[in-house]
Amino acid sequence: MIKKSTKLFLLMLLNIIFLNGCWDAREINEIGLVTAVGIDIGEDTNRYLVTVQIANPSADVSSSSSNNIKQAEWIVTGEGESLFDATRKLVEISSRRIMWAHNNVIIIGESLAKRGIIPVVDFFTHNPELRMKASVVVSKGDAKKYVAAKAGFESPSGLSFILLEGYRALHAESVESHMLKVSSALKNEYTNLLISEISLKNAIIASKESDSKQSTSETISLSGAAIFKKDKMLGWLSPEETRGVSWILNETSNTVVTVIDPEHGNKSVSVETSGVKAKFKTEVTNGIPKVWINVSGIGDIVEEDGSTKKSMSEVKQNTAKLIDQKIKDEIKNSLMVVQRKYMVDVLGFAAIVHIQNDREWHNGLKDNWKEIFPEIPVSVSVNININSSKLNQEPYSIY
């Protein structure tokens, strides 16, 4: 009879023989990591153009050698009758297996967005290797040129979209848009899409040789939004209009609001807001809902360009009125654009009215929501409590 210790030894020996590695393992120098993808539609050919930025994980990006920098990323475009066909064309010209799991951003070209983004959503939600949390943005013009453009400090530039999205709330002039959110909105009969806009702006770069010498370089800016009716883009919201919508969508908890104070000699006062929350109340009268939006939060004065003889208490009270009015104006201006110009519900009003007025929703509102939404009267109130000054607790005074 075989002893128990002998059986254990034989079992361990078999493990060593058969569990000697992963059968489908690939070395790091055999793969190319997609960090950004741009998708366009040919105006004449109606064929899809898929441009990818592929990072080389084995490249030494810290090296000062220009050759190594070039090897750190590779930009290539595939063309096909479908998105899957176009991505397969990439395989034909790549010396490495293309891995999609590390993709950070999906850039949809303006022309394709206006035709409809269902093919894009369909492709990216069917492939289990693709990240549903990848950012989705719409580009001014073709997406192809944005894949190769520099964004911030990062190289490959696709990596910087993580940081751009992370800092989005600081300026609050774009919206949260990732593939999971986009695909969910398209499945909702009453919800329409807002997708962040990217554009190219010139950044001033100082010369290393001389402080007096400067040059400009195009860099990616995340600001504004594309507004959709179902899967087709209708137009653009400006950065200011986008921030007004963000207040309503509760995506602007922390940001900076600057106002001009007549009592400070028309100088500016900047307030950093925090904990800002929009709350909604609705009622239905004669088949038409009315919406009340109350925005509240706290703020800290972070900069005062002027001087005054008023006390800090008086300054805070006056600043609060100016900030409240500024936010209210931003919200009402955005409401005007969304309701009157585009006439599509990107504000989530349908869900709010449904929840608070379930009987009325199923008794006429649901079937006529597209016609009702542009006519909904909306009242806006704002109450930002100026908590303190993060600089001097008392304003500079003139004597």
Which residue bears the tokens 């109130």? 381
* Cα dist from 391 to 99, 117, 213, 271, whole Å: 49, 48, 35, 11
> d(Cα 309, Cα 300) in Å, to the nearest integer?
20
Residue-wise pLDDT for 9-39, tens only, equals 666 766 655 555 554 555 555 677 888 899 9
CA atoms within 13 A on the CB side of 269: 30
- Residue 226: name the closest of 142, 352, 346, 106 by CA: 346
Kindly list the structural domains of the chain, giving each domain's residue range(s) and its CATH number in brackets, ordered by start. 26-237 (no CATH), 239-399 (3.30.300.210)
Q: Which residue has the tokens 């990439």?
A: 90
Each residue's pLDDT, cut to its tens digit, for the chain (399 residues) gives: 556 666 666 667 666 555 555 545 555 556 778 888 999 998 888 899 999 988 766 555 555 454 444 456 788 899 999 999 998 888 776 666 778 888 889 999 999 999 999 999 999 998 877 778 888 999 999 999 888 876 655 544 555 565 566 556 667 788 988 999 999 999 988 889 999 999 888 765 555 555 555 555 677 888 999 999 999 999 999 999 999 999 999 988 788 999 988 776 678 889 999 999 999 999 999 899 999 999 999 999 888 876 667 777 888 888 999 999 999 999 999 999 999 999 999 999 999 999 999 999 999 999 999 999 999 999 999 999 998 655 555 555 544
**CB-based contacts of 381, cutoff 8 Å, min separation 6:** 292, 293, 294, 295, 328
Per-residue pLDDT tens for 332-344?
999 999 999 999 9
Task: Report the phi/psi class of residue 253: left, alpha or beta, with left for phi > 0 and alpha for psi in -120 to 50.
Answer: alpha
